[in-house]
Amino acid sequence: MSARTTVTTRHDWSLAEVKALFQQPFNDLLFQAQTVHRAHFDPNQVQVSTLLSIKTGACPEDCKYCPQSGHYNTGLEKQKLMEVQKVLEEAARAKAIGSTRFCMGAAWKHPSAKDMPYVLQMVKGVKALGLETCMTLGKLDQEQTAALAQAGLDYYNHNLDTSPEFYTSIITTRTYGERLQTLAYVRDAGMKICSGGILGMGESLDDRAGLLIQLANLPEHPESVPINMLVKVAGTPLADEQDVDPFDFIRMLAVARLLMPKSHVRLSAGREQMNEQMQALAFMAGANSIFYGEKLLTTGNPQADKDMQLFARLGIKPEAREEHGDEVHQAAIEQALVEQRSSELFYDAASA
C-alpha cells in the first residue's frame, strides 16, 4: 500500500492485508496512521477516562494475564462490591481532575441478579454527575444489557484480548464466541462498545493482526479500542513473558487507527512502563484516549499531574465530552493546564 493511499472504513479486512500494513517501513506506517487520524479527529486532543475497580479479585475466570483471577496467588487484596455512595464520591473526584468518562470494573464472570440493582444505581448516579458512563462486568445476557442501557450506560467494555486462534492459550473458562455474543447484545441494546486487547502474552504477528481484524470486521467498529501492554504481575502465568518491542507496540496502535479510523484508540494498561517519548509516538500513531489520574484497576497508572505536564509539553488538550460539550468543564481542565504550565515542575521546551 502506498503512503498516499487513503484508508476508508471497511469491515472486510483479510489477514494478508493487515499483515502487509504491519510489515511496511515504520515511517510509512506512522505517516499513514497520522494522515487518517487527522482526517477524523483533532490530532491535538486526547480523551481522558478514569477507571475504578468496584469489585476486586477472586474472579472465577482464569485469564492468564490477570492478577484478579482467583486461579492465581498474586497477593491482591480482595474487595466486595463497593457501596454506591463511595463510587459516586470517586466519580466526583474523577470529574474534578478532568476526566470526562468514568469506567467501573468488576471482577466477575457475569453480574448476579442480586448485584444488578446496585450496579444500575451506580450508572444512574455517575450519569447524573455529568460524566459519560462505562462498565466492565463480564458476560451479559439480553435482559442485563437492556437494563444497563435503560439506566443510561454509555459504553460497555468487553475485550476480545487476542486472536480467536490464540485465545485458548490465555483463557479456558469462557469462549471467544461468548465474548462476541455479549458484544452483539450490547450493540443491540444501543450502547457503545469498548473492546480491544493485550500485547506481550507470547502472541504472534498473526494473532495481533487477527485481533484487529475481529474488531474491525464487526458490523460496526467499537467506538473505543483499548490497546494494552501486558503488565507482568508476579504469581500470574504470564509473569515472565518477554517484553514487547516498543516499536511493535506503536505499530499495533497505528494499524488499529488505520482499520478503525473513527474509533478512539486507547493507550491503556502498561502506560506507566512507557517513557514520555514512547507516549508521544503513540499519540502520533493515532492513540487518542488514555486512562488518567487513578489506578488502572489493580495496576499502577501515571499520576494525573505528570499526564497534564506531558499534555502541556506536547500541546495536547483533553477532549470535551462527545455528546454535549461542557464548556465549564473544559475551562476547568484548561485552567489546570495553565497552572501546570506555571508550576516550577513544568519544563517549558519552547523557552528553554
Return the number of the residue (11 or 80) whose C-beta is nearest ligand SF4.
Answer: 80
Of positions 47, 69, 214, 301, contacts ligand SF4 by CB under 6 A: 69
- Residue 263 CA to residue 260 CA, distance in Å, equals 6
Phi first, then psi: what are they for 7, rounded to 5°? -95, 125
- Residue 158 CA to residue 292 CA, distance in Å, equals 19
**Residues with active-site annotation:** 59, 63, 66, 103, 134, 194, 266
Q: Which stretch binds ligand SF4 (CB under 6 A): 31-39, 56-64, 198-206, 314-322?
A: 56-64
Return the number of the residue (36 or 66) whose C-beta is nearest ligand SF4.
Answer: 66
Of positions 49, 51, 54, 61, contacts ligand SF4 by CB under 6 A: 61
For the bound state, the minimum distance from the C-beta of residue 217 to ligand SF4, rounded and expressed in Å, comes to 23
CA torsion angle for 316, 263, 253, 318 (degrees, to 10)? 20
- Residue 296 CA to residue 50 CA, distance in Å, equals 8
- Residue 195 CA to residue 156 CA, distance in Å, equals 8
Return the number of the residue (107 or 147) whose C-beta is nearest ligand SF4.
Answer: 107
* Residue 140 near ligand SF4 by CB under 6 A: no
* Residue 68 near ligand SF4 by CB under 6 A: yes
Q: Which stretch binds ligand SF4 (CB under 6 A): 61-69, 113-121, 218-226, 255-263?
A: 61-69
For the bound state, the minimum distance from the C-beta of residue 352 to ligand SF4, rounded and expressed in Å, comes to 43
* Residue 59 near ligand SF4 by CB under 6 A: yes
- Apex 65 CA angle, 60 and 70, nearest 5: 25
Of positions 88, 107, 137, 259, contacts ligand SF4 by CB under 6 A: 107
* Residue 63 near ligand SF4 by CB under 6 A: yes
Which set of grid coordinates corresponds to residue 235? Answer: 504469581
- Residue 95 CA to residue 229 CA, distance in Å, equals 26
Buried/exposed code over 65-100 (b: 16+ C-beta within 10 A; e: otherwise)? bbbbbeebeeebeeeebbebeebbebbeebbebbbb
Which spans of this chain sit near ligand SF4 (rule: CB under 6 A)? 59, 61, 63, 66, 68-69, 107, 138
